[in-house]
Structure 1
Amino acid sequence: MKLIIKWLCSAAALLAVAYLYSGVVVTSFTGALVAAAVLGALNTVVRPILVLLTLPVTLVTVGLFLFVINALMFWAAASLVSGLSVSGFGAALIGSLIYSVLQLAIEFVLERLFFNQ
């Protein structure tokens, strides 16, 4: 049940990103659902590998390179899903930052209100 609620909230967060920033376009809620699933899969499978491979660069930049990795995951999801469109790498960077902040808020609310009883 928790996974489904997080998935729906992630899709809503993608719609909010598209509403807040014009560089990201989501065509429909169905497209947002698919994009949220793809983004979750990429962040689960590909992101840890990229973090490990780019560890020296991440250490030199004091962790700031992780923003680039997040943007790449967001951009990759947009290229794989037809319902999500990103106008460029800068838009992917800003979109991933907004999405990350919204995901933090979702995690906080879900843990505090629904799953911490």
Structure 2
Amino acid sequence: MSLIIEILLMGLAVAIAAFIVPGTQVDGFFSAIIAGLLIGLANATVGFILRILTFPLNILTLGLMSFIISVLMILLVSNIMSGFHVSGFLSAVIFAVVLAIIKMIFGGLSSRS
């Protein structure tokens, strides 16, 4: 049951972030849920491999490389999915920041109950 709630919250977070950030577009809540799942899947697979390969650079940049990899995963999902579109790198950066803030807020709200 909590997995379904997490998936729905991720979809809601993607929908809110796409509404807030200029240059991003999601076609509906179902597309937002799919985009959230694909972003999570991309970060867990391709992103994980890239983080391992760039580990020394990640240490030198104090974690900035992990953030750039997350932005690249958002752009990857935007390219492979038709209902989710990010217009460029800057929009993806802002989208990643807004998405992280929204997920942090949701996490704080869910830990209180």
Give the TM-score band, short-chain normalised.
over 0.9
| Correspondence for 2:77 | 77
SS of the residue corresponding to residue 85 of structure 1 reads: strand
| Correspondence for 2:87 | 87
User: TM-score normalized by structure 2?
Assistant: 0.92
Equivalents in 2 of 1:36, 1:93: separation in Å? Answer: 16
| Correspondence for 1:52 | 52
Residues 39-72 of structure 1 show CA distances to partners (whole Å, capped at 9, x for unaligned) of: 1211222221111111121111121122211101
SS of the residue corresponding to residue 45 of structure 2 reads: helix
| Correspondence for 2:100 | 100
The question of 1:20 aligning with 2:13 is answered no
Kindly tell me the number of residue pairs found equivalent between the two proteins.
Answer: 113
Equivalents in 1 of 2:110, 2:78: separation in Å? Answer: 26
Unaligned runs of 5+ in 2: none
Deviation at 1:112, TM superposition (A): 2.5
Equivalent pairs: percent with the same residue? 32
| Correspondence for 1:111 | 111
Amino acid aligned to 1:20: I
| Correspondence for 2:41 | 41
Residues 66-101 of structure 1 show CA distances to partners (whole Å, capped at 9, x for unaligned) of: 221110111111112111100011111110111111
SS of the residue corresponding to residue 82 of structure 2 reads: coil
Equivalents in 2 of 1:55, 1:14: separation in Å? Answer: 28
Equivalents in 1 of 2:53, 2:98: separation in Å? Answer: 25
